[in-house]
Amino acid sequence: MEDVEKIVDAMGATLTRVEWEAVRNLFGSVIRTKRYGEETEVDKIDLENGSSSIYWLAVLRKLQDAGAGRLILGRKGLKSRFKWSPATVEIAALMDSSGAATAPSHQGGSARDSGHHARLPLGNNRVVELQLPPNLTEAEEKMIFEYLKLILKQA
């Protein structure tokens, strides 16, 4: 249980409030469909949750860094996917419990950031790092990521 608490604490330190709620919903979906311990394609995550793959790749990287699973980037025709931790049920329960983990109090990517930090992979080991202001709404963040996704597809 101590490891699960460390994972949830790490998630709380890096996820924004908007990301935290999206991840809670995602964990709920994974548990309902009994996909914990398995892989989920990133494309399916954005279809189920209404956000772009670029947004979810950034969030899933944070989950990987926290220890909630492993992000496997698609190569040679394979799709990007996330392999869930066997402790997914325990992580979700701790996120939902009233006294334990609470949503982050900050808007930004971490306590030291002044806004949302995102990494957008371009392929060939190239990455664009983006710093968004902390006062953006979820709809505004989504619009920015969708716009960037269109630009990156054309590049």
Structure confidence by residue, pLDDT tens digits, 49-104 = 667 777 888 889 999 999 999 999 988 888 899 999 888 888 888 887 733 344 55
Q: Are 47 and 56 in contact (CB under 8 A)?
A: no
Domain count, the chain: 1
pLDDT at site 65: 92
Mean pLDDT of 108-129: 57
What is the extent of the structural domain holding 87? 2-154
Is the whole model's pTM more than 0.85, yes or no?
A: no
Q: What is the CATH number of the domain that holds 83?
A: 1.10.10
Candidate from 31-40, 44-53, 76-85, 111-120 with smallest mean pLDDT:
111-120
Per-residue pLDDT band for 141 (boundaries 50, 70, 90) equals: confident
23 to 50, 128, 141, 147, 150: CA distances (angstroms): 13, 23, 16, 22, 24
